[in-house]
Every structure is written in C-alpha cells, then in structure tokens.
Chains A and B, each alone.
Chain A
Amino acid sequence: MPDGISAQRARYLAGRRRARLAVHGLRALLLLSFFAGWELAARAGVIDPFIFSSPSRVMRTLMTMGLSGELTVHLLASLAETAAGFLLGTALGTLIAVMLWWSPFLARVLDPVLVVLNALPKTALGPIFIVWMGAGPGAIIAMTLAISLIVTILDMHGGFTATDPEKVRLLRTLGATKGQILRKLVLPANLAAMVGALKVNIGLSWVGVIMGEFLVSRAGLGYLIVYGSQVFKMDLVMTTVVLLAAAAGLMYRLVLHLESFLKKTMGVTV
C-alpha cells in the first residue's frame, strides 16, 4: 500500500481500475468477436463471401488499395469535402445566427423560411446543386452545407436568445453596447452550444458528403461504395464502410479534443 493512502481509498481506486479494465476489455472482445464471427461464417459457408465479403478479403483489398495509392486519393477526397462542409456549415451557421440575434425583426421575418428549409429533405436538393455547380466537389460541399447549415442556425440562435436576461441587464447598466453584449456575454455563454453544434455537424457533414458522392463524383468513399455495388465488388464496398467508420470516429475524436481545449482556455463548464 502506498504511503498516505487509506486502505479504503486503495480499495476504491483498485475497484475503479478493475471496472475500467472490464469496460475496455469487453469493448475489444465485442469488436474481435464480430470480426471473428464474420470471418468464420464466411469460411464455413454460412454466408456467401462474394456477397457479404469477409475480414480477410477486406484486409486484402485494403492492402492492394493502399499499395496502388487509391486509398489515399479517395480517403483524402472525402476527408477534405467533409472538413470543408463542416467548417463552412459551423462558421456560416454561427454568423447567420448572430445576425438573427442582432435583429429580432429579421428573425421574425425569416422564421417561416427556416422552418420550411429545416423540414425539407435536403437530399431532394442534390440534383439542383449538380445542375448549378457541376458534377464535382462544389456540388458535394453544397449538399453538406444544405444538411448542416439550417440545424446550426436554429440551434445557435435558440441558445443566443436564451442567454440569461439578468446578465444582459447587468451589462447594460455597466454601459455595454450591443456589440459588447455579443462579445463579452452571448458568445462565451454559448460556447458549449457551439461545441454541441460541432459534434452534430460532424455526423451531418459525413451524411452530406456520402450523399453527394453517391450522386456525382469520380473520387471519395461514397463513390467507391456506389461503384463497388454497381460492379458487384462487395469486398470494395465493405472495405469502404469499414474505412468510413474509422474516419468518422477519428474526426469525432478531434472535436472532443477541440472541446477540452476550448473548455480549458475559456473555462466554460458544460
């Protein structure tokens, strides 16, 4: 037993360690048994590997794609589009939300527009973007924006207008201008909401990018999935889905890091 720690404390800490180990262990086991079951079922002929693929086929596909440089091209294309849509959606959404907060009159005028755009299935706009912007990254990013922008505006504007009116009153008695109320109170008070919007947007941006790539494009993970299914290369489709899961998880992790960084620098409590 280390110095300065009571027996009770040591037991508590050991218990916590055990619980954490069990969680991580079970997670790894779950993942492993999924892949093992998939592989075994394919080898035993329970499922047809031509249709369902198998982990070993996925690994092989990954290797060949990696060696030929295909992997990098498609992964980078999708990552770049997602990042662009994500950043643009968040920045533009916040900017528009600020404008609506600034002018309640404008917010009232635009309310039905936002409600209808929010309810509209954004995928319906895909063909329009292709006609307007051509079959390329432009249309895909527009698609991503269409999906994430409106939600961001509504979420952020809701947060801005819900800022504690007593704090606004305090700032006004101290002689604050509207711009100061925005910078000193409304934005920092809603940092948590902004991080929340980032988290939602990362998922929505992937939806937009894959949707967009289904419709147009000659590169990207969405393209690989559509191409693979059309020529019945299910190995390629499955490999891409696995890659997509890894990329989406990785990007979400990045946002979590950004969140803890913002919390540390701004001291915001969520």
Chain B
Amino acid sequence: MTASILFLLAGFFYLVAGLGLVRLPDSLARLHAGTKASSLATTLALAAALLHHRDPWSVTLALASILFVFLTAPLASHAIGRTILASRLPANPRAAPNAPKNPHPNPPRPAA
C-alpha cells in the first residue's frame, strides 16, 4: 500500500516534469522543471520498489539506482545548462531587449 502511494506520487512528479517541459517559456526554465522534478520522481519510484520487493538483491539494486541518480542528474543538467549558456543566445529573447547583437544567431526552428 505504501509502495503504491509512493509510486503514484512518482507518477504525479513525472507529470509535473512533462508539463513544465511543455509550458515553461525558455530553455533554462525547462531545464529547471525537467531535471529536478524527474529526479525526485525517479527517487520516489525506486523507494516504492525498495518497499515492495524485500529481498536483498532488489534492495541493493534500488539503493544503487538512487545513488546513481543523485550522483549523475546534477552533472547532466549542469552540462546542459553550460551548453545553453555557451550558445550565447539569451534564453528568453524578450527578457533582455537591450542585449548586444548575437554573433552566432541560433534561429528558432520554423514551424513544421
């Protein structure tokens, strides 16, 4: 029962991550919503698995996965954030109207 509730919470936070990826206005905000909410949701799902399967191998796997997610998710989101900043485009063009002209313009993809 506790495992089911934890897994339902995980599904809710995955939904929060997906909605943030669709609804938020610029890439850094999407990075914020997507990576943090989904790593929390993955941790909740793995905690549900840890409470549901009681054998030592499953507990070891779930703990190792939680540790791996907490080690690597910040590194991956940091790398993506550095890439966004290095593209020298203000993440939201309306946020910095007086910014200097971009030497490497990164035009938005035309609507297909």
Asked whether A and B interact, the reply is no
Binding site for A on B (CB under 8 A): none
Binding site for B on A (CB under 8 A): none
